[in-house]
Amino acid sequence: MKLAVLVNEGPYQHQASDSAYQFVTAALRTGHEVMRVFFYHDGVNNGTRLTTPPQDDRHIQKRWSALAQEHNVDLVLCVAACQRRGLVDEGEAKRNSKDATNIAPGFRISGLGQLIEAGVEADRLVTFGD
């Protein structure tokens, strides 16, 4: 079955991001397709490559990036949520005259249309948040 996931909370703050990750890996393990994970509100903080958690802790961002690389999961950050919180890719850096980027590998910044599309195209959309 084709699944999509919505994550509304940031890493290390609420269990939502961990729950979503465990759900996605279990879905892939059991042979389902995860066509997209959409990160909204504080959820976009999952997509910064500048985090350095303690070595004995899980690295939430790298875990997501690995999923994108190994299973082709489309990781999409909401553009308006990114602008508010300082999540920047090349295009956003240029458009808003920023001196750096911080988006992690496997993530891309796009609009809410991607969430709507996930809701329409996937058989189920599962929301994780507070």
Which residues belong to the active site?
Answer: 78
Judged by CB under 8 A, which of 58, 84, 95, 124 binds other proteins?
124
Task: Tell me which residues in 31-50 interact with other proteins (CB under 8 A).
Answer: 32
Answer whether 59's CB lies under 8 Å from 51's CB.
Answer: yes
CA 97 to chain centre: 24
Taking the C-alpha atoms of residue 26 and residue 36, their distance in angstroms, rounded to an integer, is 15
Q: Find where tokens 């959820």 sit.
A: 43
How many residues touch other proteins under the rule CB under 8 A: the total is 22
Interaction of residue 118 with other proteins, rule CB under 8 A:
no
Closer Cβ to other proteins, 70 or 130, answer by number: 130
Q: Which stretch binds other proteins (CB under 8 A): 11-19, 51-59, 82-90, 110-118?
A: 11-19
Taking the C-alpha atoms of residue 90 and residue 99, their distance in angstroms, rounded to an integer, is 10
